[in-house]
């Protein structure tokens, strides 16, 4: 039958075309091996990094997203920085040394000599002042880092930061890539401004998303908020030359990152959860606790809830949560939060000193509270994950634990944008949230105290705990690290006994890399330092 | 003489000039309707977006910046959110007339620039998928109709049912795992290999741009990257088109004029292709048009799995960030897609069936 012959011929042609399209492997993929289940060293000095982009810009004065932090860290030098995974002590970067006044209000930095921007211009104190004041005055996401701080340049080699209040966190704050130093002349030429009206006057973002104007180990080659960002090694970099001549950072969903790194299509996968990383072979896995902190809040404002503001009820919740089961749920690498300050920061409490699960005590607390067996809504963002942990999963486990205490929790998962409104407005009776560090210093966690940013979200108003607030004031003005550590630990112990916050877990932060990579380390601030890789 | 002219009374053909006038009037009417529809879409998108109990400032500012009134005020001023809602809408429409869709709150770039970057990627993928699915779907539908209730038909019906039944994200993950990870036959995500730079920009369709500029290595890479997401997207549409083609053809095959054509001794190939498939194409094109619109505007999951930087991903990120200008821009684009696709489908009716053109 002729029709049949035609159809048969069509099938043969289709199969032939299909097979020829499939016949060659990913030969164009340059930098990496392609055999399944193995990873190999790049043939050329290219590095492919895959992450789920949280990226809006790489203009340091406007950037404050995880992917942006990772990129800007290698595009822009900062006065101080951290090496590897150690975020306890800032080390010199553009500043070779600094001194702090006894009242923690004045910091004087001496700049490194002979440093040049990627374009060959020398880095001067004027560039530093311009960069810091631009970030401050743009009123963008990272502007709070410079709140109350003024930068001046008394000499070509010296920068002075003056704070209106004692600020012991300034050295830690200055490590943030949002305070990266840009070339003033080039940024001004592109419409940049550090003036008081920079929020409206500065027009340099588009330019900085095309050409980086920094002195870091890499320069920006191409930028897209959804596809990939390409970096090229800076030939004028003053420090150790980075190993990779070109870094391609691709926006890839986590489950695909796993397959790509296993096939050698990429060398680093940033966003795998403990479950996804489990059982992977032929790769190196860097697994440690993340500085992100999941916590539960029980609103202290009786107008929001007479139940959750009851101190005995708060104790019942604190005692009634099975922290070990939450850690198990979060997977290998996760740890119980011993307090609101993550375990890797100064002032945190040692492992094992967090709240403990005691069901009998929790039931006794609930009985003593006199609220009976209340039914409460637990609000959480249902459409986001942090370090691969879903809020919904965690909330369900909390619900289960509190059910045994006698507290009926109704899960109220909401879109993050909706949930944020009630959370930031201090209107949630119970909420499940997380806090990521703005800078790796315990001062960042003073936000949880009564009357402060997060404290108010839990209805914890100023004057609610005068002794704790006094401790906080003392801690914020103390410069001695050993004294600071003692003070912050006192704060945490007090909050672990009585506060509307119940710190739950720090999830695992996992990096999966090709075995050929050397010095792959996880960093609490910028995930991974791409310039340190060997 | 076609069988249509045997069964249908002859319709007097209008003069060429009159036909052109009619076509012009038809196009103008559709254009006017389209403009009204687009304005309506902007209003609906604007109102619905503002009904969501969320705050764009909260969605886009960090946890510290949202606590800073100066930062919040700067954000609201920058995106015009400090004005009354009716004023915001009127300003939007005014800017729209000048081709200004506003600045995206997530990318900090003009929405038009964003759309110009993402739309070509979606068009390229959708075109690949619709061509593939039309060829395969209609082909399978014809075979199924010709061999109705025999084993080829049974096999094709099962295959097409599977095509429309399987969740697309699952198909995407399985295809990625098998064809990329296990077998290595096709590349993984993205439009090109990681270390390749895009071809010289002309249309934004990488295969076209690379071919036009003779960048054959890039062309081959772009084509190979299209295959996997294109196949996944095509599976559902193939299923739908196969079922529609089969059903339409079987309905037409029962008509007297088809029997008459066979009795006249016309070859079976001519009967099937000219007297059965051609009239069936009217409904097939309708389905294919809608499918193309869907492919162009609703491929979020596939784009996400294959790291395809298309309009679906942009729409998704716009929605979760409450990025009003971007949401409006995407809504306008989607509306425009359906308006244009419907117009093209209507015009194709006339090409396929002269009776429609004449009436």
Judging contacts by C-beta atoms under 8 Å, the chain B residues touching residue A22 are 179, 185-186, 227
Cα distance from B71 to chain A (closest Cα, Å)? Answer: 5
CA distance A263 to chain B (A): 7
What is residue A3's predicted lDDT score, i.e. its pLDDT?
46
Residue of chain A whose Cα is closest to the Cα of B228? A22
Burial class (CB in 10 A: 0-12, 13-18, 19+), B34: middle
Residues of chain B contacting A248 with CB distance shorter than 8 Å: 194-195
Among chain A residues, CA nearest to B222: A28
How near does any CA of chain A get to the CA of B127, in Å? 17
Of A25, A142, A199, the CB nearest to B74: A199
Place of tokens 């979060």: A330
d(CA B259, CA B23): 35
Q: How far apart are CA A261 and CA B195, in angstroms?
A: 15
Q: Decide if A36 and B181 are in contact by the 8 Å CB cutoff.
A: yes
Q: Are A280 and A260 in contact (CB under 8 A)?
A: no
Q: DSSP class of residue B107? A: T
- DSSP class per residue in B149-207: TSHHHHHHHHHHHHHHHS-HHHHHHHHIIIIIIIS--S--SSSS-TTPPPPPPSSS-HH
Query: What's the pLDDT at B16?
Result: 67
Task: State how far Cα B219 lies from the chain centre.
Answer: 23
Place of tokens 């061999």: B147
Pinpoint the alpha helices (H) of chain B. Answer: 3-7, 16-51, 56-60, 69-78, 85-97, 111-146, 151-165, 168-175, 206-212, 216-253, 256-263, 268-270, 278-297, 300-305, 311-320, 324-352, 354-358
Query: Are the beta carbons of A400 and A357 closer than 8 angstroms?
Result: no
Q: What is the predicted pLDDT for the residue at A19?
A: 43
- In tens, the pLDDT along A133-154 reads 999 999 999 999 999 999 999 9
CB-based contact, A20 to chain B, within 8 Å: no
Closest CB to B190: pick one of A250, A415, A421. Answer: A250
B127 in Cβ contact with B208 (< 8 Å): no
User: Average pLDDT by consecutive 10-residue portion of chain A (534 residues)?
Assistant: 50 46 40 38 74 92 94 98 90 96 93 96 97 96 94 95 93 96 97 95 95 97 91 95 95 91 94 90 92 96 96 97 95 93 93 94 96 95 86 95 96 87 91 93 95 95 96 90 94 96 95 95 93 92
Q: Tell me which H or E stretch contains A259.
A: helix A254-263
- Please tell me if residue A45 touches chain B, with a CB cutoff of 8 Å: no
CB contact under 8 A, B224 and A21: yes
A9 CB within 8 Å of a chain B CB: no
Mutation target to probe the B interface, by most B beta carbons within 10 A, among A26, A44, A145 is: A26
Give the chain A residue whose CA is nearest to the CA of B105.
A56
Nearest by CB to residue B65, choosing from A56, A140, A421, is: A140
Within 10 angstroms of residue B197's Cβ, the number of other Cβ atoms is: 11
Contact A141/B268, CB-based, under 8 Å?
A: no
pLDDT at B1: 38
The conformation of residue A242, written as its DSSP 8-state character, comes to P
Q: Which residues of B touch A266 (CB under 8 A)?
A: 194
pLDDT digits (tens, 9 = 90+) for A493-523: 999 999 999 999 999 999 999 999 999 999 9
* DSSP annotation of B110: B
pLDDT at B313: 87
Contact list, B65 vs chain A (CB under 8 Å)? 64, 140-144
CA distance B343 to chain A (A): 31
A91 in reach of chain B (CB within 8 A):
no
Measured between alpha carbons, how far is B108 from B61 in angstroms, rounded to an integer?
Answer: 13
Alpha-carbon span A114 to A123, nearest angstrom: 8
Tokens 């210093």 belong to: A441
Is B155 in the A-facing interface, judged by CB distances under 8 Å?
no
Q: What is the pLDDT along chain B (359 residues), one digit of tens a residue?
A: 344 444 444 555 556 677 677 778 888 888 888 888 888 988 988 888 888 777 788 777 877 787 788 888 888 888 888 888 899 899 888 888 888 898 898 888 899 999 999 999 999 999 999 999 999 999 999 999 999 889 999 999 999 999 889 998 899 999 999 999 999 999 988 999 888 889 998 999 999 999 999 999 999 999 999 999 999 999 999 999 999 999 999 999 888 999 998 898 899 889 998 889 988 888 888 889 888 888 887 678 899 889 899 998 889 888 888 888 899 999 999 888 888 888 888 888 877 777 766 55
What ipTM was estimated for this complex?
Answer: 0.79
How large a percentage of chain A has pLDDT more than 90?
A: 78
> What's residue A30's pLDDT?
38
Is the Cβ pair A2, B66 closer than 8 Å? no
Which among B57, B63, B308 is the top mutation candidate for probing chain A, defined by the most A β-carbons within 10 Å of its own β-carbon? B63
**Residue numbers in A near B304 (CB within 8 A):** 253
Q: Which of B234, B307, B312 to mutate to test the interface with A (most CBs of A within 10 A)?
A: B307
What the block records as the tokens of B21 is 């006038």
Determine the pLDDT at residue B174: 93
| Cα A9 to Cα A12, A13, A171, A439, B317, distances in angstroms | 5, 6, 73, 66, 45
The span from the CA of A451 to the CA of A472, in Å, is: 11
Q: Give the pair of three-digit tokens for residue B10.
A: 């002859």
Beta bridge partners of residue A95, listed in sequence order: A111
pLDDT of residue B50: 80
Tokens of A139: 């009123």
pTM of this structure: 0.84
Helix residue ranges, H only, A375-427: 391-405, 416-424
């Amino acid at each position: 039958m002729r029709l049949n012959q035609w159809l048969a011929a069509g099938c043969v042609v289709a199969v032939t075309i299909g097979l020829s399209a499939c016949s060659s492997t990913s030969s164009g993929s340059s930098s990496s091996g392609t055999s399944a289940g193995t990873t190999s060293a790049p043939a050329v000095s290219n590095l492919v990094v895959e992450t789920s982009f949280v990226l809006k810009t790489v203009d340091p004065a406007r950037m404050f997203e995880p992917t942006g932090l990772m990129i800007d860290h290698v595009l822009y030098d900062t006065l101080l920085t951290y090496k590897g995974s150690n975020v306890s002590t800032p080390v010199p970067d553009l500043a070779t040394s600094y001194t702090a006044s006894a009242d923690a209000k004045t910091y004087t930095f001496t700049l490194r000599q002979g440093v040049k921007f990627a374009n060959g211009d020398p880095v001067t104190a004027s560039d530093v002042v311009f960069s810091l004041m631009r970030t401050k005055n743009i009123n963008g996401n990272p502007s709070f880092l410079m709140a109350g701080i003024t930068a001046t340049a008394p000499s070509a080699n010296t920068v002075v930061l003056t704070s209106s209040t004692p600020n012991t966190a300034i050295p830690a704050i200055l490590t943030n890539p949002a305070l990266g130093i840009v070339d003033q002349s080039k940024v001004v030429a592109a419409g940049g401004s550090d003036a008081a009206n920079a929020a409206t006057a500065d027009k340099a973002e588009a330019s900085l998303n095309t050409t980086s104007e920094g002195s870091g180990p890499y320069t920006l080659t191409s930028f897209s908020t959804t596809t990939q960002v390409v970096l090229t090694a800076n030939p004028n970099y003053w420090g150790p030359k980075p190993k990779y001549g070109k870094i391609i950072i691709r926006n890839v969903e986590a489950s695909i990152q796993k397959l790509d790194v296993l096939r050698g299509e990429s060398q680093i996968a940033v966003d795998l959860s403990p479950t996804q990383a489990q059982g992977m072979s032929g790769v190196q896995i860097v697994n440690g606790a993340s500085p992100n902190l999941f916590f539960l809040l029980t609103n202290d404002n009786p107008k929001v809830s007479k139940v959750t503001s009851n101190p005995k009820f708060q104790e019942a919740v604190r005692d009634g949560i099975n922290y070990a089961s939450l850690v198990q749920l979060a997977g290998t690498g996760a740890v119980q939060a011993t307090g609101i300050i993550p375990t890797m920061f100064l002032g945190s409490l040692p492992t094992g000193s967090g709240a403990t699960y005691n069901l009998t005590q929790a039931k006794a607390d609930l009985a003593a509270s006199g609220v009976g067996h209340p039914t409460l809504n637990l609000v959480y963002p249902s459409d986001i994950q942090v370090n691969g942990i879903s809020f919904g999963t965690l909330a369900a486990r909390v619900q289960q634990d509190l059910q045994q205490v006698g507290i009926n929790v109704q899960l109220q998962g909401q879109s993050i944008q909706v949930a944020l409104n009630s959370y930031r407005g201090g209107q949630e009776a119970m909420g499940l949230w997380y806090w990521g560090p703005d800078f790796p210093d315990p001062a960042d966690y003073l936000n949880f105290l009564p009357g402060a940013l997060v404290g108010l979200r839990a209805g914890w108003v100023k004057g609610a705990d005068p002794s704790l607030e006094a401790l906080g004031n003392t801690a914020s003005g103390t410069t001695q690290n050993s004294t600071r550590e003692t003070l912050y630990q006192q704060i945490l112990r007090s909050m672990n006994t009585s506060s509307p916050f119940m710190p739950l877990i720090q999830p695992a932060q996992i990096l999966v890399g090709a075995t050929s990579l050397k010095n792959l380390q996880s960093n609490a601030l910028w995930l991974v330092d791409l310039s340190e890789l060997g | 003489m076609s069988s249509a002219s045997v069964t249908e009374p002859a319709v007097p053909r209008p003069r060429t000039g009159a036909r052109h006038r009619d076509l012009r009037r038809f196009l103008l009417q559709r254009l006017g309707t389209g403009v009204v529809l687009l304005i309506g879409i902007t209003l609906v998108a604007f109102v619905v977006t503002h009904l969501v109990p969320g705050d764009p400032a909260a969605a886009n500012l960090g946890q510290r910046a949202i606590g800073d009134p100066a930062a919040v005020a700067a954000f609201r001023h920058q995106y015009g959110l400090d004005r009354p809602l009716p004023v915001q809408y009127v300003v939007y429409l005014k800017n729209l007339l000048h081709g200004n869709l506003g600045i995206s709150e997530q990318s900090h770039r003009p929405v038009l620039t964003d759309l110009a970057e993402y739309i070509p990627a979606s068009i390229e993928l959708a075109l690949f998928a619709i061509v593939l699915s039309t060829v395969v779907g209609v082909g399978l539908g014809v075979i199924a109709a010709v061999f109705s209730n025999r084993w080829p038909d049974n096999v094709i019906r099962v295959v097409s049912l599977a095509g429309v039944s399987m969740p697309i994200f699952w198909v995407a993950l399985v295809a990625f795992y098998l064809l990329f990870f296990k077998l290595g036959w096709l590349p993984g995500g993205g439009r090109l290999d990681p270390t390749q730079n895009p071809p010289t920009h002309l249309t934004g369709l990488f295969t076209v741009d690379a071919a036009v500029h003779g960048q054959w290595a890039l062309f081959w890479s772009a084509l190979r990257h299209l295959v996997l997401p294109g196949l996944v997207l095509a599976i559902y549409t193939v299923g739908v088109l196969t079922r529609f083609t089969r059903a339409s053809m079987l309905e037409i095959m029962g008509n007297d004029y088809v029997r008459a054509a066979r009795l006249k001794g016309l070859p079976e190939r001519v009967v099937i292709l000219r007297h059965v498939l051609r009239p069936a194409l009217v409904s097939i094109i309708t389905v294919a048009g809608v499918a193309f619109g869907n492919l162009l505007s609703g491929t979020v999951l596939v784009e996400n799995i294959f790291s395809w930087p298309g309009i679906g991903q942009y729409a998704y990120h716009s929605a979760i960030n409450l990025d009003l200008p971007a949401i409006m821009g995407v809504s306008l684009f989607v509306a425009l897609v359906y308006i244009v696709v419907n117009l093209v489908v209507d015009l194709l009716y006339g090409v396929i069936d002269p009776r429609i053109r004449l009436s």
